[in-house]
């Protein structure tokens, strides 16, 4: 080529070959400008012959051009035996004696939501699509930003960061408007709440390392880390796991590593991280709200589950929900908060307490015995075992059930059995013998 282009390209190619010929090969230790530690060459990229995938000491896995890499000799182990702290990239674990705690004040447990959502760790918030977990989590973020209670429970108050990979900015605007109306405030009062919509964008917080299955943080994760450092929020909401996690939800190691990454954010920045997730089909049917590997449930310190209220597949009130505490390492499990959707937000319903709860229990027992007598008189037997004649299910659907649910009637049956007021009797003979519930002394 007369213009010298050929000579220029040939020179560039020779330069690349000189870098590749400088002895770089898989397994070599290298350094690069801007990197504090040493990296290891993993694979040469086929599409870019002058580039290498490098696994760096900070856990990142990146593609770097060969000309930016300098081969270094890995230090021998015994070189630092006299001064182990001089070893490059050495992990600095902090070991301490339990005796050193003597006389020190015991640090109080820090809660974002008293007794429900702990600070400094990860809470998994599950719920089927359409139940309203995103709205309820946004209400939580608003309550924290306002320093107000959430569902009748006190919050720590502070800045809040809400990241949504599902809802666009217009939808977030509409929901904020409904929340502001319910709280009787103007949006200007939510100056401590920061929103970020990732709808339609790459929302992954990590990617899988090629050929290893391990996760490495993305630039979005590092951006989030920097934002948390700058704002120091009390709460970070991530909506939802399916959009943020790149791996296999059934892979326990990846599940634990991802939760560990999020917990690192919570610990470094002293905030609560609430991660929203959908249950699997089995988790939905069983009512456990779990999904994928047990690593998710085991790795988080608390887990909440929002669900609709159904009885044998029937949903009598489509606006009713219940928020259950499925796991709580730092408090009691099994707690429930009854909710109702109204005017665009969820409102906590007053729980039965004291005499009201005793009265409701007594009513269920009275209705159980009333219907047991009525059906027995008609020659219609009911059983204590799940099936077509299961007493709580039969009674709950009866016109004279007085609003008692299957769950309440199941509790009444258990108590009546416990007090020996009802027993299991039999009717029929031989192969046609069947068991049924009867009042004691009437069998």
DSSP 161-172: EEEESSS-HHHH
Which pLDDT belongs to residue 289? 80
Residue 78's pLDDT is what?
46
DSSP β-bridge partners for residue 346: 341
161 contacts: CB under 8 Å, gap ≥ 6: 141, 194, 196, 227, 228, 231, 233, 235, 236, 237
CA-CA-CA-CA torsion sign (372, 376, 382, 388): negative
- Nearest CA-CA partner of 23 in 59, 70, 55: 70
* Spatial distance between the Cα atoms of 172 and 371, rounded to a whole number of angstroms: 49
- The residues of the chain scoring below 70 in pLDDT are 1-23, 36, 44-49, 58-61, 74-92, 211-212, 285-286, 311-313, 351-358, 443
Closest to 337 measured CA to CA, from 366, 292, 304: 304
CA angle 225, 129, 219 (to 5 degrees): 20
Give the pLDDT confidence score for residue 312 in this predicted structure: 61
Calpha distance 281→290 (Å, rounded): 9
The DSSP secondary structure of 302-332, one letter per residue, reads EEEEEEE--BTTB-S-TTEEEEEEEEETTS-
State residue 7's pLDDT score.
53
Query: What single string gives the DSSP state of each residue in 367-435?
Result: HHHHHHHHHHHTT---BSSSSTTBHHHHHHTSTTSTT--HHHHHHHHHHHHHTTSEEEEEES-GGG-EE
288 burial class (0-12, 13-18, 19+ CB within 10 angstroms)?
middle
CA angle, corner 323, sides to 142 and 406, nearest 5? Answer: 155
Measured distance CA(246)–CA(261) in Å, rounded: 13
**Residues shown for the chain:** 443
Q: Which domains occur in the chain, in start order?
A: 16-77 (2.30.30.140), 111-348 (3.40.50.300), 354-439 (no CATH)
pLDDT of 357: 62
For residues 389 and 382, the answer to whether their CB atoms sit within 8 Å is yes
Task: Give the integer Cα–Cα distance in Å for 143 and 149.
Answer: 6
pTM of the model: 0.66
Residue 134: per-residue pLDDT:
97
pLDDT of residue 4: 52
Q: Which two tokens stand for residue 128?
A: 């089927």
Per-residue model confidence (pLDDT) at position 11:
47
Longest dimension (CA), the chain: 113
C-alpha distances (whole Å) from 183 to each of 149, 152, 378 are 11, 13, 54
Cβ–Cβ under 8 Å, residues 175 and 164: no
| Contacts (Cβ under 8 Å, ≥6 apart) of 423 | 417, 437, 438, 439, 440, 443
Find out whether 307 and 322 touch, Cβ atoms under 8 Å: yes
What are φ and ψ of residue 314, in 5° steps?
Answer: -95, 130
Q: Rounded to 5 degrees, what are φ and ψ at 114?
A: -50, 120
Q: Judge contact between 148 and 184, C-beta under 8 A.
A: no
Q: How far does Cα 99 stand from its chain's mean position? A: 36
């Amino acid at each position: 080529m007369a213009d010298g282009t050929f000579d220029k390209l040939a020179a560039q190619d020779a330069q690349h070959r000189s870098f590749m010929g400088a002895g770089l090969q898989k397994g070599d230790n290298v350094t690069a400008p801007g990197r504090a530690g040493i990296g290891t060459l993993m694979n040469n990229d086929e599409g870019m012959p002058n580039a290498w995938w490098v696994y760096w000491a900070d856990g990142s896995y990146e593609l770097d051009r060969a000309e930016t890499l300098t081969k270094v000799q890995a230090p021998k182990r015994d070189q630092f035996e006299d001064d182990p702290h001089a070893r490059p990239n050495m992990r600095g674990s902090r070991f301490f004696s339990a005796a050193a705690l003597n006389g020190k004040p015991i640090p109080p447990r820090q809660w974002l939501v008293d007794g429900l959502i702990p600070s400094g760790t990860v809470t998994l918030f599950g719920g089927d699509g359409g139940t309203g977990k995103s709205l309820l989590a946004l209400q939580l973020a608003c309550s924290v930003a306002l320093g107000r209670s959430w569902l009748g429970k006190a919050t720590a108050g502070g800045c809040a960061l809400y990241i949504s990979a599902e809802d666009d900015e217009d939808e977030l605007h509409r929901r904020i408007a409904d929340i502001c109306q319910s709280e009787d405030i103007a949006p200007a009062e939510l100056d401590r709440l920061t929103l970020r919509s990732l709808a339609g964008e790459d929302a992954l917080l990590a990617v899988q390392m090629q050929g290893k299955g391990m996760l490495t943080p993305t630039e979005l994760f590092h951006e989030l880390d920097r934002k948390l450092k700058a704002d120091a929020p009390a709460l970070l909401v991530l909506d939802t796991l399916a959009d943020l996690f790149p791996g296999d939800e059934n892979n326990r190691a990846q599940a634990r590593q991802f939760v560990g990454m999020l917990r690192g954010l919570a610990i470094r920045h002293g905030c609560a991280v609430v991660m929203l997730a959908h249950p699997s089909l089995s988790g939905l049917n069983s009512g456990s709200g779990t999904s994928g590997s047990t690593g998710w449930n085991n790795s988080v310190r608390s887990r909440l589950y929002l669900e609709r209220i159904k009885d044998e597949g029937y949903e009598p009130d489509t606006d009713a929900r219940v928020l259950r505490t499925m796991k709580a390492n730092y408090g009691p499990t099994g707690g429930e908060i009854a909710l109702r959707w109204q005017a665009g937000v969820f409102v906590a319903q007053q729980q039965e307490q004291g005499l009201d709860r005793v009265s409701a229990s007594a009513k269920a027992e009275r209705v159980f015995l009333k219907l047991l007598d009525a059906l027995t008189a008609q020659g219609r037997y009911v059983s204590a075992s799940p099936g077509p004649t299961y007493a709580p299910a039969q009674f709950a659907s009866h016109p004279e059930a007085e609003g008692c649910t299957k769950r309440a009637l199941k509790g009444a049956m258990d108590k009546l059995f416990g007090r020996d007021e009802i027993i299991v009797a039999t009717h029929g003979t031989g192969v046609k013998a069947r068991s049924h519930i009867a009042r004691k002394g009437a069998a």
